[in-house]
Amino acid sequence: MEQVLDENRLTSSFPIGYVSLNITNLEKSIDFYHSIIGLHVLLKTERFAVIGTITGQPLIILNQEEEAVQRKSNATGIDHLAILAPNRIELARHLKRILERDYSIRMISDHGVNESIYLNDPDGILIEITRDFTPEELVLHMPLSSQELAQQLLEMSRQLQSDSPEIAMDRIIGHVLLKVSDLSQAEQFYVRDLGFHVSMRIPGAVFVSSGNYHHHLGFHVWESNGGPRPELSAIGLRYFSIIAPNDEALTEMTAESPHDFRFVRDPAGNGIVVSQRATIHHEELLDMDQIILERSNSIENQ
């Protein structure tokens, strides 16, 4: 594990805030995130929606792109985003919702540090619903096969009452996995410039964290090594936010912005909003999104 001490480095209080996605049909996407996943619709306009938690925290911003195009198979962008549930019972609750609504599951996996359910949204964007093992569980944990984990979650889900229209307990974005074109450039950007530290490396991929967490971000070149940036109208990632813990953190990155956030792109073209606020009201995101769009176009034209 690599870790360089620096007063401006990220700490464990830096979560991923929200993820903004280009999609093709707002109503279908809202139905997926509300009915299948169980999140709340916090704000909706004709082509824009904010999806989040019962406490009003935005998690996913949906932008219906009128001229949406498919990403090239070797393009950079998002591999998947992970919605973190607080415990195994809540993960089983998600499984119950998915099965009751007869929605297709892509995969169920035990990763050794967490357990996850994977499914695709209406545009094929991969969504992971996950829960972390407790420290006590990690001590004696023996990884389960997909079939064993599915059976245990299914048995647990049968003990739960039928779900309400929305998930009551809170959720956060646990991590985001990105496709990049150059692994060393991406690592340099996220470690040196944003202050994450490397938590794990495997062939073709690097995972980084802002504390002792297994990873808040990962990036790989499995399909995208040397690949192109996607078009701005491509389905998938528009940007994701990193929330700084205080007004002094990441001063250099936000100093040039007249706002309390700054939009940047990593070397692979993935958009990032660096914010200095731990919370943001969902209604502010409409104005923020327009500013980010203008900044994004400006960067693209440079």
The pairing of beta strand 77-85 with beta strand 58-64: unpaired
In single-letter form, the type of residue at position 189 comes to: F
3-state secondary structure string across the chain: CCCCCCCCCCCCCCCEEEEEEEECCHHHHHHHHHHHCCCEEEEECCCEEEEECCCCCEEEEEEECCCCECCCCCCCEEEEEEEEECCHHHHHHHHHHHHHCCCCCCEEEECCCEEEEEEECCCCCEEEEEEECCHHHHHHCCCCCHHHHHHHHHHHHCCCCCCCCCCCCCCEEEEEEEECCCHHHHHHHHHHHCCCEEEEEECCEEEEECCCCCCCEEEECCCCCCCCCCCCCECEEEEEEEECCCCCCCHHHHCCCCCCEEEEECCCCCEEEEECCCCCCCCHHHHHHHHHHHHHHHHHHC
Provide CB contacts within 8 A for 231, sequence distance 6+. Answer: 69, 71
Q: How far is it, in rounded angstroms, from Cα 42 to Cα 67? A: 25
pLDDT, tens digit, for every residue of 101-118? Answer: 999 999 999 999 999 999
Provide CB contacts within 8 A for 100, sequence distance 6+. Answer: 162, 163
Q: How confident is the model at residue 289 (pLDDT cuts 50, 70, 90)?
A: confident
8 A C-beta contact, residue 36 and residue 57: no
This model's pTM is above 0.85? yes
Q: At what angle do helices 88-100 and 146-157 cross, to 10 degrees?
A: 90
pLDDT, tens digit, for every residue of 195-251? Answer: 899 999 999 999 999 878 899 999 999 999 999 999 999 999 999 999 764 455 455
Domains observed in the chain:
16-301 (3.10.180.10)
Mean pLDDT, range 81-99, rounded to an integer: 94
pLDDT recorded at residue 164: 56
Out of 63-72, 136-145, 148-157, 279-288, pick the least confident. 279-288
Q: How far is it, in rounded angstroms, from Cα 199 to Cα 205? A: 11
pLDDT recorded at residue 166: 56
- Partners of 263 in the beta sheet? 273
Structure-model confidence comparison of residues 126 and 301, the more confident one: 126
Mean pLDDT, range 43-50, rounded to an integer: 95
